Amino acid sequence: MLMWLCRAPPNVRFQLPVPVRTLIKHLPSSKPNAFSLHRTNAKALTTNAARIVNSSHFETLNSRQQEQIRLYIDALLQWNQKMNLTAVKEVNEVMERHIEDSLAILAPIHKSYTSHCNASCDSIRLLDVGTGAGLPGLVLAIARPGWNVTLLESMNKRCVFLEHTVSLTGLSNVQVVRGRAENLGHNLSFREQFDVAVARAVAEMRILAEYCLPLVRVGGLFVAAKGHDPQEEVRNAERAVQLMGASFLQTCSVESQSPYGKRTAVVCLKDHPTPKKYPRDPGTPTKMPL
């Protein structure tokens, strides 16, 4: 099994019982010149980030959180010139397409968790599966500093970027893990340990169910960020969700300023433990969806 636990700032507090044997290898800290830019470009990006147009969800954040978002966007666009993190190239487009959409799923998480999980939202163990550039997990960690957020990503370069950004923004509630969900789902330090798992722009629901639900505790939630009309995808995933010990709770339209259309949050409730045979071997959920 290949899994890397990336280095985080010294004051990180991660609540899961992670034994020494899972700490296979720390990623090296990023080299100062590995992703260097001309100073004029970096300065321009910083200036643009400072001119972010306020939007409904962004405005709800305090001044420190807004600055952390600006730092994140600045780093994202700088590193994106050297590696493939996002197709988006402009600051305002990042805000509309990524930040706003990420913040938009907070309301469905809060409403569903307080209504159906019989627990407070003040301290949630949240896992972002296939986080990529940290969306939505890193943005959620900024917005909810009381949550313990784990960012799961299989690509080394993206993990280095995430580690850099966690340090840059001063986040103490984020853990970056390099690995695959199919492997992590059989690691007892992670299996059924999270209150909420989220995924955005990763795969269709049948596949996501097998990736995410084995990692969610009984009584917890799986929330998938989807497009404007996921109903057919949801119907096709009913069997997969049930096999993982869960059921569809609700499909919520989320408020988003994105010009890319209406967004939807698909919420599943974990009713029973996931059978031990799931998730299947790496690659199998994609090749043979349930």
Band the pLDDT of 239: cuts 50, 70, 90.
Answer: very high
Q: What percent of the chain has pLDDT over 90?
A: 64
This prediction has a pTM of: 0.81
Which DSSP state fits 22?
A: G
Q: What are phi and psi of 89, to 5 degrees?
A: -115, -15
Q: Residue 102: name the closest of 127, 138, 78, 74 by CA.
A: 138
Q: What are phi and psi of 43, to 5 degrees?
A: -65, -40
Q: Count the Cβ atoms, other than its own, within 10 Å of residue 80.
A: 19
Q: Is the pLDDT of residue 214 over 60?
A: yes
Q: Count the Cβ atoms, other than its own, within 10 Å of residue 54.
A: 10
Determine if residue 241 is left, alpha or beta; phi over 0 gives left, psi from -120 to 50 gives alpha, anything else beta: alpha
Largest CA distance in the chain: 55
* Sheet strands (E) in 180-279: 194-200, 216-226, 246-254, 263-270
Q: Residue 246: name the closest of 201, 278, 277, 209 by CA.
A: 209
Cα 70 from Cα 65, distance rounded (Å): 9
Q: Which residues on adjacent β-strands are paired with residue 225?
A: 200, 265
| Strands 148-153, 174-179: pairing kind | parallel
Which DSSP state fits 53?
A: P
What number is the average pLDDT over the span 255-275? 82
pLDDT for 38 equals: 32
pLDDT for 260 equals: 55
